[in-house]
Amino acid sequence: MGVLAIQGDFERHLEAVRSCGAEGREVRTPQELDRVDRLIIPGGESSTVGMLMMRFGMMEAVRARAGQGMPIWGTCMGMILLAESIEGSDQPRLGLMEITVRRNAFGAQVHSFESAVEVSILSEPLNAVFIRAPIVVQWGPSVEVICRWQDHVVGVRSGSVLGTSFHPELTDDRRMHEWFLAWDPSSSG
C-alpha cells in the first residue's frame, strides 16, 4: 500500500495503514508507485501537489495505474486532485473521476469541524474530520455517492477510485482504511 508523500499529512495515513497490519510505503516517484498495489492521496495543498506531481512525472504514472484498475483513494485534497473539474480553478489534476468539486466549501481552517456521517460502504456511522474540506457539486453517471453530510456530497467512488472530503486518518477509527485495504474494485463491494 502506498501513500503519496509529496506534501501534506501523509504520515498519519501511513500510521493508519500500519495499524491495520499492512505495509505502508511513501510514494514520490513513478518507480515507487510501481512497487505498490494501491495508493492513498492525502490531504494537503492541491495546487502545490498538482504542480509537484507534474514535475516528478507522477500525474501520468498515477493515471496509467488507475487505467490498469489500481485502487486509489483521495482524502480532502486527494479528492480535489481526482476530479475532472475544480470550480474556479485550472490547476493540475488527475481527472480520474467524473466529478466537479468546490474547494474549501465549509470555510477556512478555523471553520474545521467533526461530525458523524453515514458511509454506505460501512455498517455504522463514522466520526469524520473536515478541514478546509471540498464538496462534490456535480457528478456523472459513473459515480456512486457513498456519503453525504447534511445536503453536501462528501464521499464518492467510481471504478477503482474513491474520494472523501474528510480525514479518517485523524481519528482512531480505522474502518475506512480497513475497507480500502480489502477493496476489490472488480467486484461490486
Active site residues: 76, 167, 169
Does an H or E element contain 119, and which? strand 113-119
Distance from the Cα of residue 56 to its chain's centroid? 20
123: left (phi over 0), alpha (psi -120 to 50) or beta: alpha
The cell numbers describing 10, all together, are 501523509
Provide the grid cell at 161: 477510485
| 3: nearest Cα among 68, 77, 67, 86 | 77
Give all strands (DSSP E) within the chain, no chain letters: 2-4, 25-27, 39-41, 72-75, 83-86, 97-102, 113-119, 126-130, 135-139, 144-149, 152-158, 161-164
State how far Cα 184 lies from the chain centre: 16
Q: How many CB atoms lie within 10 A of CB 40?
A: 27
Residues making up the chain, counted from first to last: 189
